[in-house]
Amino acid sequence: MKNRLIFTMIIFSLIVQVILNFAAWSAESPVTVVWTTVGSYSEGISSLAIYQTTDGTYVLLAGTDSNNVLQITNNDQVWSNLGSNLGGIIALSPDYSSDQTIFATSWNAGYAHKSTDGGISWSSIDNGLPFDAWWSLAISPDYAVDQTLFMGGNSGVYKSTDAGLSWIPSQQGLTDYAINAVEISPDYANDTTLFAGGNNRGVFNSTNGGMNWQSANQGLPGSPRYIGPSITALAISPAFATDRTIFASVFSQGTYRSTDAGASWQQIYPRDASAIGISPSFKQDQTLFLSTYTGTPHLFTMSRDGGQTWDTLDTSQFVPSYYIASILVSNKFAEDDMIFCAGDIGAWKGIISVTASTTTVPPVLVTITEFIAVPGDHCVSIQWGTASELDNSGYNIYRSDKKKGEYLKINTALISAQGSPTQGASYEFIDKDMKNRKTYYYKVEDVDLNGTSTMHGPVSATPRLIYGIGK
């Protein structure tokens, strides 16, 4: 009787635990988003900036790929052109409501401009700047006092302390002069800290206003075909003064977070990002967004716990896009749940909502970053690379003589996986004894540990004697 009672109590406790676990699982809240187009501009946009008032109205500015600066308010239906040949990379003064200052620079034309009347008139501010591609523009949070801003591009980092009237190089310690991104500490007035993301040698930080730079790459992997980590996106926490958090994305190697001001890094997402957006209330809501860069499909994702877990947002309303260049989170995100994004699809506004559901988003098991077929003499070299591989068993190669024809497996044994969740790998398979001057089509199939497979491709190649490879 006693044993039966103990057994009953154990079964009861297990049932209660299952119910509690189910309740917790059911309480998971995936994110949904409703997108609407902003204006009617559907060409490439490089960057966004916003000014919001306390009553909820906003002025949104966009720098286009063709170096125009556009403006629209939440009451407008079309964009206004504030000027041409100004620059696609734009930034607003932190005191825009008072000084009406806008900066613009170009990643494809080499110039920089400034307006102090909200875009009505513009003046050139390139005194001391090399004529080069400029990819990033960052303004001191204390701009009203220190008049400081930085630009990063193919000539390294340049600094101005007179509101852009003159520039000096900020290069000491930089070993990479191709700078893709510059981020300034929100507490710059006190810590004089900023970060730069290089195209070839990763992240650099300065704690003395750009006088000296140090490498900050511990934990960041190198990118294929680059000298070191190639930084595709960089973003700093609005609460950096206390949380010391910064995010960096590495080409084809994933997205990383540092919680010690760049002293060390840990991967938080297996794919690299073309843009990262952080909630102004990050200290409270731990919310950030990223859009994936290399690999397919392109994803727009959101984390509500500082990057520990992610929800993939539906972007099926978008015109198919290679990249999203800019993500902007409303300054009043805690109240209006509003975000903006822009790229080669124009600009879109999203309203985020969280609804109770048991739906979970499956992880991306294998991220293919490159898949090509290289022709040779009576042979074809099929090559592919990955950024990460989760629970991957291996690969199969399929061939057809028609793009939409029947594909047959040509490898006799599964090609073993060499990658890991944090490290990709490179692969090659030689298809021999092929007919020259005939086009062949190939697909690569990844197979996970459960036998589930995903097909990639096709790619094509036409073997010819003149190539002479594979001998």
Residues 6 or more apart in contact with residue 384 via CB below 8 angstroms: 368, 370, 371, 372, 395, 426, 427, 444, 456
- Could you list the beta-strand ranges (E) of 38-111: 45-52, 58-64, 69-73, 80-83, 89-92, 102-105
pLDDT digits 0-9 by tens, 57-76? 899 999 999 999 999 998 88
What value does the CA radius of gyration of the chain take, rounded to a whole number of Å?
25
pLDDT of residue 321: 58
pLDDT at 449: 83
Q: Mean pLDDT across the stretch 412-424? A: 89
Q: What is the pLDDT of residues 377-400, one digit of tens each?
A: 899 999 999 888 888 889 999 999
pLDDT at 361 (0 to 100): 43
Residues 90 and 63: beta-carbon distance below 8 Å: yes
Stronger pLDDT, 273 or 53, i.e. the higher one: 273
Binned at pLDDT 50, 70 and 90, residue 450 comes out as confident
- Lowest-confidence range among 284-288, 357-361, 408-412? 357-361
pLDDT reported for residue 322: 59
Which pLDDT does position 22 carry in this prediction? 30
CB 48 within 8 A of CB 347: yes
What pLDDT is attached to residue 108?
77
Structure confidence by residue, pLDDT tens digits, 112-140: 999 999 999 999 999 999 988 899 999 99
Tell me how far apart the 2 most distant CA atoms of the chain are, in Å. 92
**Res 420 pLDDT > 90:** no
How do residues 147-184 score in pLDDT, each as one tens digit? 999 999 999 999 999 999 999 999 999 999 999 999 99
Look up residue 13 and give its amino acid: S
pLDDT of residue 364: 54
Tell me what the mean pLDDT of segment 174-199 comes to: 96
Nearest CA among 443, 252, 452, 434 for reference residue 362: 452
pLDDT of residue 145: 97
**How far apart, in whole angstroms, are the C-alpha atoms of residue 191 and residue 232?**
25
Mean pLDDT along residues 346-357: 81
Across the range 309-315, mean pLDDT stands at 89
| Domains located in the chain, CATH noted | 31-354 (2.130.10.10), 366-461 (2.60.40.10)
Answer whether residue 18 shows pLDDT above 70.
Answer: no
- Strand partners for 348: 37, 341
CA distance 294 to 273: 8
* Residue 92 vs residues 96, 336, 414, 424: alpha-carbon distances, Å: 6, 21, 55, 39
Q: Is the pLDDT of residue 210 over 90?
A: yes
Share of the chain above pLDDT 70, in %: 89
- Name the H helices within 273-360: 282-285, 333-336
Tokens of 311: 């929800």
Which letter, b or e, does each residue of 373-386 get, where b requires 16 or more Cβ atoms within 10 Å of its Cβ? bbbbebbbbbbbbb
CA dist., res. 69 & res. 75, Å (int): 19
